[in-house]
Amino acid sequence: MKLSKHSPPSDSSPAQTLIAPQPDQHSALLLVDLQNDFFPGGALAVPEANSLIPLINAYIKHFSRQGWPILATRDWHPANHSSFVEQQGPWPVHGVQGSRGAQFHSDLVLPPGMMVISKGTDPKKDSRSGFDGTSLADRLEDLNVQTLYVLGLPTEHCVKHTVLDGCQRGFQVVLLTDATKGSDPQNDGAANVLQEMTDAGAYLAHSRDIGIPPFSH
Ligand code: ZN
């Protein structure tokens, strides 16, 4: 990697007080698994995930207007994928290539030419992180991206692992906390999940922190 590592938060102030960097021409927006199967009605539904869509569209619009890259990961499993219960895996059938559940939610306003990163395409391997077994890191390097703004579903699985992997690979990673949601309606452990990411060097930011106009839900 040509990218330089940034200092972990322990070098300076506690993670909670770190101010996230502002996006610029070396930034990209990464949409994690915004597929029907992770929205209500889907196989691995995140409760109330629909409520995020207007704000996610606002983030997309903001990055599009500036001409900054937008990429999206998706679960893109073969029908006999090893992560499915039928194959002794932990999950119900989801994200099957070409299925309705694997499509991006139709209320999202996705930019033309958006780069789509498919993961979990090998029947024998699962990919919780968007970097795992994909071209994501190469694409970002080609685009000269240094800072990755991450949103999507679900916080404690694919979002977290993508953030941790991004930090490990030397990217500056900002988790957009108001545009991610976890699967657990009780929210147990949500603070720990965020802590795990900030411990790895990720920043947490809210739409207002990075110049998205105030948004009414
Ligand atoms: Zn999957």
Give me the residue label for tokens 């404690």.
156
211 pLDDT tier (thresholds 50, 70, 90): confident
Distance CA 187, CA 191 (A): 9
CA of 97 to the centre of ligand 1 (A): 11
Domains of the chain, with CATH numbers?
Answer: 26-206 (3.40.50.850)
CA of 99 to the centre of ligand 1 (A): 13
The one catalytic residue in 75, 158, 165, 181 is 158
pTM over 0.85: yes
* CA nearest neighbour of 202 among 153, 165, 154, 152: 165
pLDDT at 113: 86
DSSP state of 118: E
188 pLDDT tier (thresholds 50, 70, 90): low
| 119 assigned to active site | yes
Give me the residue label for tokens 């691995």.
44
Query: For the chain, what is the total number of helices (H) and then of strands (E)?
Result: 4, 6
Q: Which residues face 150 on adjacent strands?
A: 30, 175
Q: What is the mean pLDDT of residues 40-60?
A: 96
DSSP state of 204: E
| 158 assigned to active site | yes
